[in-house]
Amino acid sequence: MRLDFTLNGEAVAVEVPPDWTLLQVLRRELGLLGTKENCLEAECGVCSVLLDGRVVNACILLAAQCQGRSVTTIEGLGDPERLHPIQQAFLDHGAVQCGYCIPGMVLAAKSWLDENPGRLPGEDEIREALAGTLCRCTGYQKIVDAVAAAAAALAKG
């Protein structure tokens, strides 16, 4: 099956089996390993990516569902020299421990903040926004603080 989509701002065309998920395309075919693999049943959220700007689980999204659409992975957000404000906030607030869930967390946060532009979310709203991504290290607190700080930074522009 030929799949044409936009990945991190660039047009991509790949030939993949029809039963592959987006996660398989990203990790196996394209070597983009920032999108993590774990439960494969949309329960843990480490595979989160943005589909047309909204966070989705790449593990249960068939690659075919991305036909003609735009996918953003953590590699499309910032790099170590030019961090995205959300990534910077995660570092500044000590929100990263083992880090395996963090790409998914950052993208879940970005999706919510983009969906609610200019909004300074309360703690409960942030927790709701992140509930689809499990973190076993941090207890979420510093992640919540980081997202609040990122929202403020983004609102200031």
Task: Please list every residue from 59 through 98 that binds another protein, using CB under 8 A.
Answer: 60-62, 64-65, 67, 73-75, 77-80, 83, 87, 90-92, 94, 96-98
**Residue selected from 8, 40, 70, 153 as contacting another protein according to rule CB under 8 A:** 40
Q: Does the footprint of another protein cover residue 48 (CB under 8 A)?
A: yes
Are the CB atoms for 155 and 113 separated by under 8 Å? no
Q: Within 10 A of 50 (CB to CB), how many other CB atoms are there? A: 22
- Residues binding another protein: what is the number (CB under 8 A)? 77
Q: Which one among 72, 103, 150, 154 touches another protein, defined by CB under 8 A?
A: 103
- Residues 6 or more apart whose Cβ sits within 8 Å of residue 137: 97, 98, 101
Residues 125-154 that bind another protein (CB under 8 A): 126-144
d(CA 123, CA 39): 27
